[in-house]
Structure 1
Amino acid sequence: MNRLFLRFFALVMLSISVATLAIYASITLFFGDPLEEVAQQQASGQILLLTEYVDKAGPEEWLTRLNKIREITHSELELIPLQAAQTKVLASKQAQLMRGEVVIDVAGKSFYRRVDLKGERYVASNEDVIHAQNLPIDVAPVLKTEALRYIIVAICLLIPIAIWSSTHWRGLQALEKVADEFGAGHLKVRAQTSERDSIHPLAQRMNQMAARIEALLEAQKNLLHSVSHELRTPIARLEFALELLRNAAKNPQLEPRMQAMEADITELNVLVSELLDLGKLDQLDQDTKLNCSEFDLSSSLKHCVTGLQHVLVAHQLVTDFATDLGSVKADQRLLMRAVSNLLRNAAKYANGRIWLQARRTDNKIEIALEDDGPGIPAAERERIFEAFYRLDRSRDRNTGGFGLGLAITKKAIAAHGGQIVVQEGQFGGARFIISLPL
């Protein structure tokens, strides 16, 4: 935001500078160089002596009068050849010199003028030029006056622009703060502006957008919770009816079908539980907070691995926990749920080996999990953390889940201020890396 107004200020200053140069160029084009006019006025005494005293003398007295002026003035008057004068005069003033007019050299504090156009002053005087130097020319006060004038104009322009911009700047800063808080998950925040503020219409539309988004998300969460809770009732009735059926019918032929029904009910229960967990994670940073406590990370990871022995029984799990892991302050249940989801995911795809590592650096904890499975294509590595997204669309409950495990994992890690990335593993499989700030 600051860069925006700094650029605006620089643009205004540049515009004033360009306008100043444009004014000077326009005046010079239509009326002549104003500095030359000032210099000619300052050198008017020497010019008057030359035109009214020296030029009106006859051919015999012309040089005599010129020498007298040299004696009574501090200026230096000398005769130089016309060709030498032409090399010193600007190309744009050559015609003026050839016409016999006075050509002012402001920077050199001098002027040039041909002695004569027809050679009447003395023999071959039409080939000579009077060069007057050390003239009392000083345009610095004029330049300072003009600079002061433009500075005053610039200040008079910048003060109202600054006042006008400051109100916009404060308003935009307030909108930026609201946008940051809304993006961080605080959906109740709204922009507070007065109707007199110039950004009030923008703030109103932002508030309407925020209210609409909040309402949509709230409706989505309510729908998710309602559906999840409503599903539990028929699931419970199905479980009860299945148990009655099992007790009433002792037919061995029905046993496989009842086991399949139990598997379906278990799958529905898992789906409902994961949907509820996902909804709870969405509520973090808004209505609820993490249940953080201090716990030993190495012991918790080992306990998590032990609790999944029935899932990992067909694989060789290699653990490598650094000795300096120590304790961390986090939501233990949520963090271990994230690691557990990664272990379950690795068990589904690993060919035989899984590696779990954990280490501590100066500012973060890093937990890495790798398998020797088929890996994840680079184009899919971001999408696998989306809810209900699965790489293999043809998987059933025997080979895959619902596509919620990695979504829950990412939200759990993000709730701790960390991040999770997936890379290609050393053994060709997927390598998930969890980074948690200390």
Structure 2
Amino acid sequence: MTGNSRLLALFGTNAPAPWRGRYSLSRLFFNFYLLVMGSFVAIAIFADFVISTAVKGITDEYTSRFMRGTIVLIEDELFRKPRSEWPKTVEMLDRKFAYKLDIVDRWTLKLPPGQAEKLDDGELAIDAQGDVLYHRLKQTPQILVVGPISPERNPEYRKGLPLDLRISLLTWSLIGLCLAIVVWLWVHPVWRDLEAMRQTARALGEGLFEARAPTMRSSAFGPLAETLNGMAERIQRLIATQKELSSAISHELRTPIARMRFALEMLAGTEQPCERQRLWQMMERDLDELDGLIDSSLTYARFEREQPELHLSTVDIAPWIEEQVAANRLLGRNLQLLVDTSALPPAQRVELDCRSMPYAVTNLLRNAIRYARTRIRVSAALVGDQIELHVDDDGIGIPPDERERVFSAFTRLDRSRDRATGGYGLGLAIARLVLAQHRGTASAGESPLGGARFTLRWPLSQSVTES
């Protein structure tokens, strides 16, 4: 699966319309609301159960103490009369209380073991629901039953739901309404951000790589939008680079291939050994040019696509510069190649990648060798916490308005388009990419020798070990 298809799969931009419709704002709101509300209710019910279980014993004890006096008075009233009149007395007393009164035999009751033991010991017992009390009448087998509250005798119960239940329902309704408002205020901007991201992903999936995600209202999606935009910019830059690279390479390949074709045609039509030798040498130079073009193009593409990981080493900069100049001295032939490191402190050490930095220095030296008349000077100096390396020549120089353009890939000034100077317009572009890898810069200017000066500038110490 490609990067684009993963992106489309993530945001559903390739999905059928009915599938995407399921993830509308209302569905997102209700799903999230039900999740939050359900979790809140479940937590509340669990907390109520735990609290009720914890305080049940306290509540039962409080009920027993509260009702003990009333039950004792009822018991005294019963024992003032013969046992045969107890039913009538209980019936008469029952009409005066908001809860029911009754007398039953002990054997008819089924109570929890703990409450049954209390009842047999003469204490008050309470049923499992906590709304009915039992009391044994002074060593008799009969039990006085008090409760539950009679709805017919209590005005609060005649109107429908009990007052506490109505208050609970009202409270939960208000909580649900407030929670719905809070969830909506949270979900709506999140949905707008998701919709904006989806539209951007769809545009990118359709090849519109200039599309960018807008500024996110939700901080949760800010990093995602920045990542998406960064990815789009990188894709756009890579595609543009590949198009430019392909077009430039195609253009550069035409000249040596045309020369080789011409040489082959001439070679087939001549029998003179000297002429055949000259044509063979011409084709060899063209093959070398093609080989150099391919090597430079691959190097540039590698640095442009993704900068290789830095492998830093601390080197003594003066001997290192001498070594790089010595490696390219043969190319200078009759040119005077000077190295000046007198402006550097003794044994000055610098951090650099010993595999990539020579690319930059070698390309500057070859560029100077190509255009210098008689002299090239390589010098270095310490400026603050940065090292500056200059490559000067006494050639024709670079106009001020062209000094930045020469660092673009496949850019060559008009006066360099002849075969004598050669080049592919990639050396300076590679040098700039290498210096960017080292958190430095590459620039062009006017040389004290009268020609061009190229300067590499990078920190003495890298704060990171990778690009």
Superposition TM-score, scaled by structure 1 size? 0.47
Superposition TM-score, scaled by structure 2 size? 0.44
